[in-house]
Chains A and B, each alone.
Chain A
């Protein structure tokens, strides 16, 4: 019991630490918001005149269809490069110091991924705000928005932990940067983020079936666009299992980083 309390308080303290840093300087997050904005404003606007029920799997505009995909993409970009920051902290000595505190190692992973999910929520709010500005018609009732936030939290935690795991094996900031960037585009394009899975060739459909991003986008699209929730429990279960696996693997290899 005492150790469970210690675990939770350590994780929250580490999350608080990251949250305080965001409060001191949020310029990085605003800059990261530029990319999803461009996807919506340039890419989305260009394609939105194209009315095709095949492309949007229903009677929606393309901007409506892609909004959930862009939220997922913006969160993915923030999360998957977390390892670069972690290696930087290792190089500076801060990670070693953190791991020499009594905080359990897994609580360090939980705390840091929680903090990353705060960044993720920030991105989701920015993208949702943009959809309002652009007049994209979405179902934004409070429960659906809360649902989107929960998915974002799980998703950000999963990919932050994934990135932490990768960083333990890659070891340098430049390698992590290169690998992280190499991963994002395939993950993004091999998902239902900007076109439906039904349009893909068969082999790519198989890939997207095991791509966690597809489940994330599907859950969010159900909530803010279609209102059809039949797949949502499966989506969330899949994301939950993936998140748990990634957290466990990050906790196991974290020490490798400082050896």
Chain B
């Protein structure tokens, strides 16, 4: 007999579709699961249907057909209960510039029913953790973009949602703030156990943060899986060896396949480059070939993205989405 519950799915989406008036299929029969405790990424070009999907999950848009469950609760049955479990950080700036940092946290902790006794400690802790304590009583409109993002994440620390939705979390941030934001997102996931759902078209971000991801294209999920698996799926790693003499033209099959041999160089395609690298070095040394240099290149998520989306051929995106993203950028950039 089994003991304990099976692991809970944070999100179960089945045959979800959204058709806008005029027959435009923004989301076309997609299904996916997000496991509790993972960082799930939703990738795709502008207009692929990512934001539409998120809006349906957070109960701001009604599906045309299909079902969505958040921690086992059907969003169409009990939308208020679903909203009580989730946090949402939209692409645009969602903290209120006309309130102080402290007030932003206070108001939203009340709306999320954080117990009155818990509020002061949690708010103080979140402000400390995010390095915002000194600016707690300043109006948020005087904050930099990075600080606003930190405040938005601080809100999640106070409200402790079971799942946090981040729409383009690092859009418009400078490289340093972007790195910091990534760090906080990881901590939120590992230390507070928050399941994270992010959308992005920044492949580096997806690679850095996501346990698993799905790439959406024209309303459908083109491919999904762990970033490493996806990269491997479009071919292995490429090991390039520079030698001082003509290298052998074949290597044992378990090291990979030779794709190119020149007088002083050798290219080997291998399933897992990091594991194969020392073996290739050993093999060549045993063959008496002196190595002058060696490099490893991996197909990046960019390559995966380009393969599975129409982004390379077609860069249409909705006007609204572009406008919102730019607005967010302008506000943050101040």
Contacts and interface: CB of A to CB of B under 8 A. Distances in A.
Interface of A: 6, 9-10, 13-14, 16-17, 20-21, 24-25, 91-94, 96-104, 255, 258-259
A22 B58 CA distance: 30
B60 interface: yes
A259 B99 CA distance: 26
Contacts of A6: 113
A94 B97 CA distance: 10
Contacts of A17: 96, 99, 103, 107
Most A CB contacts (10 A, CB to CB) among B55, B110, B327 go to B110
B60 A259 contact: yes
B327 A101 contact: no
Interface string B120-143: 000000000000000000010000
B93 A101 contact: no
Contact of A94 (B96, B112, B324): B96
B94 A94 contact: yes
B105 to A, nearest CB: 12
Given A13-B110, A20-B103, A102 B88 contact: no
23 contacts: A13-B107, A13-B110, A16-B107, A17-B96, A20-B107, A91-B92, A91-B324, A92-B92, A93-B91, A93-B92, A94-B93, A94-B94, A97-B89, A99-B60, A100-B60, A100-B83, A101-B83, A102-B83, A102-B111, A102-B112, A103-B111, A255-B60, A259-B55
A93 B60 contact: no
Contacts of B83: 100-102
B174 interface: no
A258 B88 CA distance: 14
Contacts of B260: none
B276 to A, nearest CB: 47
A96 B89 CA distance: 9
Contacts of A102: 80-81, 83-84, 111-113
B229 interface: no
B58 A100 contact: yes
A13 B109 CA distance: 10
B86 A100 contact: yes
A93 B166 CA distance: 13
B72 interface: no
Interface of B: 55, 58-61, 80-81, 83-84, 86, 88-96, 98-100, 103, 107-108, 110-113, 139, 324, 327-328, 331
A101 B98 contact: no
Given A21-B99, A101-B83, A259-B60, A96 B90 contact: yes
Contacts of A13: 107, 110-111
B98 A24 contact: yes
Q: Lowest 7 A-B CB distances belong to which pairs?
A: A93-B92, A97-B94, A102-B84, A100-B88, A101-B111, A93-B90, A13-B110
Contact of A24 (B55, B99, B331): B99
A100 B112 CA distance: 10
Contacts of A103: 111
Contacts of A93: 90-94, 324, 328
Contacts of A25: 98
A20 to B, nearest CB: 6
A92 B325 CA distance: 10
Contact of B98 (A14, A21, A258): A21
Contacts of A92: 92-94, 327, 331
A21 B139 CA distance: 10
Contacts of A20: 99, 103, 107
A97 B88 contact: yes
Nearest to A22: B98
A66 to B, nearest CB: 34
Nearest to A101: B111
A224 B331 CA distance: 47
Nearest to B331: A92
B113 A96 contact: no
B99 A96 contact: no
Contacts of A101: 83, 108, 111-112
A14 B60 CA distance: 19
Contacts of B99: 17, 20-21, 24
Given A17-B107, A25-B98, A98-B111, 15 more contacts: A9-B110, A10-B111, A14-B111, A17-B96, A92-B331, A93-B90, A96-B60, A100-B58, A100-B59, A101-B111, A104-B80, A258-B55, A258-B60, A259-B55, A259-B61
A164 B290 CA distance: 76
Contacts of A24: 98-100, 139
Most B CB contacts (10 A, CB to CB) among A17, A255, A259 go to A17
Contacts of B58: 100
A103 to B, nearest CB: 5
A134 to B, nearest CB: 33
Nearest to A258: B60
Most A CB contacts (10 A, CB to CB) among B93, B99, B110, B111 go to B111
A143 to B, nearest CB: 34
Given A101-B83, A102-B83, A102-B113, A96 B94 contact: yes
Contacts of A91: 92, 324, 327
A21 B91 CA distance: 23
A24 B141 CA distance: 12
Contacts of B61: 259
